[in-house]
Amino acid sequence: MELILEDGSVLSGKHFGYQTSVAGEVVFNTGMVGYPETMTDPSYQGQILVFTYPLIGNYGVPDNSEMDALYAHFESRKIHVRGIIITSLTTEYSHWNGVKSLENWMIEHKIPGIEGIDTRALTKTLRSAGTQLGKMVIKGSDIPFYDPNKENLVAQVSIKEPQFYERGKKRVVLIDTGSKKNIIRSFLKRGISVLRVPWDYDYSDEQFDGIMLSNGPGDPTMVPETIEILGKHLKRDKPIFGICLGHQILSLAAGAQSYKLQFGHRSQNQPCIQVGTKRCFITSQNHGFAIDDQTLPENWRPWFFNANDGSNEGIRHNTKPIRSVQFHPEAMPGPEDTNFLFDEFVKML
């Protein structure tokens, strides 16, 4: 199998997983663990993922047992990456919770992989030149390049009809733009009921105590319907909390502007500093776009910033209970340093 980048680079490796050719946006993740959660994260829709950690597959894949009608160990019901690129595949896995190999799991979901690639060199290329389109091609079956950022990826990963998860008297409307399951789990374990609605659903007539904007894939400007509906609620005093794409949607609804990062933030070790303090949190992240906090309108202010590149990692309203973060406080995978943000939001309801 060959990996072909849009700059003309061709890298050869050994195929594993499902026998097919795929194309997408080639991005890298520097996390050391968490490949089952990462690969099932809807935010990776349309992307080919480079794992920089050299050994992948060593602890296999857990079972698909459910908890509260949600998979306990995955962030969605399917693999969302189009393919993966690794240095070395471990076929003999060992873990108390592992029930199948990574390769067998990928075959079930029709996802190809390529190993034997110098992922360090490839990552340096993507870091220097920026994220590129690419394709993983089996010999004799070439395909065209594909740019997922030109599509409404959110519509592909959002639910089609509202779903209700009953727990307590307080209720949060979760705008599903590609929500990870652990966002829902995080509310349920705190005794909060969740009404999960599609990305373009007008929830104005629903009964709720707060609004949660989920993570998701692609360019936030591709979902003007979500932004327009949210805009009506910014005039109210209902608590609102956004994560990742939800942070970007909230910022756009407030009047700020977004831009595409050179290579994005995808890992479980991104340092974020709370504005006005020296407190640094290690966070889990997965995004390719960011908000220009210099475009924030009056009554809004930055909340967190990335310690590596200074990009915005959160905003908050000066007087209303409305805030958002670019990182993932729900983790899965990654550190739980910022899990307390769910507790703070619940107190506002």
Nearest to 216 by CA among 262, 174, 185: 174
Annotation marks residue 336 as catalytic = no
Annotation marks residue 330 as catalytic = yes
Nearest to 155 by CA among 106, 95, 218: 218
Selecting among 25, 37, 115, 330, the annotated active-site residue is 330
Selecting among 73, 244, 272, 313, the annotated active-site residue is 244
Q: Cα Rg for the chain, rounded, in angstroms?
A: 20
Nearest to 35 by CA among 71, 66, 80: 80
Nearest to 28 by CA among 116, 69, 87, 100: 87
Nearest to 142 by CA among 308, 276, 267, 22: 22
For residues 234 and 297, the answer to whether their CB atoms sit within 8 Å is no
- What's 11's DSSP letter? E
Q: Residues near 344 by Cβ (< 8 Å), separated by ≥ 6?
A: none
CA gap 27, 266 in Å, rounded: 8
- What's 118's DSSP letter? -
Annotation marks residue 109 as catalytic = no
3-state secondary structure of 223: coil
For residues 244 and 217, the answer to whether their CB atoms sit within 8 Å is no
CA gap 262, 285 in Å, rounded: 15
Cβ neighbours of 168 (radius 10 Å) = 13
Total count of residues recorded for the chain: 349
Selecting among 73, 80, 247, 328, the annotated active-site residue is 328
Ramachandran area for residue 5 (φ above 0: left; ψ -120 to 50: alpha; else beta): beta
User: Active-site positions?
Assistant: 244, 328, 330
